[in-house]
Amino acid sequence: MFELADKGTIFLDEISEMPIHLQSKLLRVLQEREVMRIGGNKIIPVDVRIIVATNKDLVESIAQKNFREDLYYRIGVLQLFIPPLRARKDDILDIAFQYTKKEKEDTKLLENPTVKELLKTYLFPGNVRELINVLQRYYVYCKDEELNEKTLALFMQKALTPGGSKQQSDSFHLKEPSLNLKNNEIILIQKSLVKQQGNKQAVSEELGISRSTLWRKIEEYGL
């Protein structure tokens, strides 16, 4: 991977999830600017710019002994903080419309005033990935059904506001669809595996879950 990215840029997502033993290897690559192929004995020089991303506090991870401090200072030269989606409510509909048009789905749902309010009120603790995941599930399950805000709300399982009143929560409370959750997960994963031609990284990004969770689900369901 680093060899292919020579003279270019490599993006490492979810850097906080990298095991400690791999962190030490990454640190060596960054320090020595060289790699060696698996099973090889030839040192290959590389000139690569690194961009990493994480949704965790790496300083806290260092304190918990889950992330190397020396690697943190090596990769943390220029740091950019992107506010969570709940702090960028004006972006929610733009992202939803962009995804819907990209997937060539009907945008009629997003033009519904109640849906707009629902999306802007929901906290989306999973940020953009959760927003995309909610829309994906909606369009998969409701392909041939009427587009409406009640159906969309079925896929929003978390509270709309932290510490909100019971009355406020009840106003958006809907019964869960009478579907087997395990079967639903299997269908979603199978559809995504076919669509992404077996690319696990692409599947995990499409479904809004980590690669480790995806692998666990694949093994659990025998996919």
Is the domain 9-75 a CATH 3.40.50.300 member? yes
Mean pLDDT of 107-121: 81
pTM confidence score: 0.54
Higher model confidence: residue 123 or residue 29? Answer: 29
| Cα 162 to Cα 6: distance, rounded to the nearest angstrom | 46
Mean pLDDT of 107-131: 82
Element (H, E) at 207: helix 200-207
Give CATH 1.10.8 domain extents, the chain. 85-178
C-alpha distance from residue 22 to each of 68, 163, 173 (Å): 10, 40, 44
Work out the mean pLDDT of the chain and round it to a whole number: 78
| Cα 29 to Cα 32: distance, rounded to the nearest angstrom | 5
Q: Of the candidates 216, 207, 208, which has an alpha carbon nearest to the alpha carbon of residue 125?
A: 208
| Cα 110 to Cα 220: distance, rounded to the nearest angstrom | 35
Q: pLDDT at position 5, please? A: 86
DSSP SS3 for 31? helix
CATH number for the domain formed by residue range(s) 182-221: 1.10.10
Q: Of the candidates 85, 78, 207, which has an alpha carbon nearest to the alpha carbon of residue 137?
A: 207
> Token pair of 123, please?
């906290």
| Cα 109 to Cα 83: distance, rounded to the nearest angstrom | 26
Please tell me the class of the 85-178 domain.
Answer: mainly alpha
Give the N- to C-terminal CA distance of the chain in Å, as an integer: 27
34-54 residue pLDDT tens: 988 888 888 999 998 999 998
Q: pLDDT at position 150, please? A: 63
49-52 and 9-12 as β-strands: parallel, antiparallel, unpaired?
parallel
Give CATH 1.10.10 domain extents, the chain. 182-221
C-alpha distance from residue 93 to each of 112, 123, 136, 192 (Å): 11, 14, 15, 24
76-103 residue pLDDT tens: 888 888 888 888 888 999 999 998 888 8
**Kindly report the CA angle at 82 between 125 and 5, in degrees rounded to 5?**
110
Q: Would you mind telling me the total number of residues written for the chain in this entry?
A: 223
Produce one character per residue of 163-182: b if its CB has 16 or more CB atoms within 10 Å, e if not. eeeeeeeeebeeeeeeeeee
Give CATH 3.40.50.300 domain extents, the chain. 9-75
Q: By CB neighbour count within 10 A (0-12 exposed, 13-18 middle, 19+ buried), where does 135 fall? A: buried
